Amino acid sequence: MLTVKALHIIFMTSWFAGLFYLPRIFVNLAMVPEGSEAERERLLLMAGKLFRFIGPLMWLTLVFGLALWLYYGIGAGTLWMHIKVAIVVGLVGYHHVCGAMLKRFRAGANTRSHVWYRWFNEVPVLALFVVVFLVILKPA
């Protein structure tokens, strides 16, 4: 089971790296000046490739996390695990919202500023802090 735990951590870390960087690309996309089509297309290409790359990482994180939960019964019925699961569900939603934002950028329909995307980019950072502290401290 230690192999499963290691794989869960590796895939989670990789997925988070993508969740940290994809909105950062959105910041840059929101700052592209009118008429800079080559820059816009390059950033859209990067964002699209990154989004496609992190999708399987998300699923692998969920599969190995579920395997751990089912095998160990870690925190079953405890408040900290309920909070952690709620945050993970929120992160899956965040992942899909990023996909919807990418579609809007591709369609030229973005209405948000680069400042908004800078704040949006902080969501997975805060989620990571909370989840790590929950898993390590396991508060009652």
> Count of residues for the chain?
140
pLDDT band at 72 (very low <50, low <70, confident <90, very high): confident
Mean pLDDT of 68-83: 80
Task: Indicate the number of domains in the chain.
Answer: 1
Q: Is the pLDDT of residue 74 over 70?
A: no
What pLDDT, on the 0 to 100 scale, is given for residue 71? Answer: 84
Domain span including residue 49: 2-137
DSSP codes joined into one string, the chain: -HHHHHHHHHHHHHHHHHHHHHHHHHHHHHTPPTT-HHHHHHHHHHHHHHHHHHHHHHHHHHHHHHHHHHHH-TTTT-HHHHHHHHHHHHHHHHHHHHHHHHHHHHTT-----HHHHHHHTTHHHHHHHHHHHHHHH---
Q: For 13-71, write each residue's pLDDT tens digit.
A: 999 999 999 999 999 999 999 899 999 999 999 999 999 999 999 999 999 999 988 88
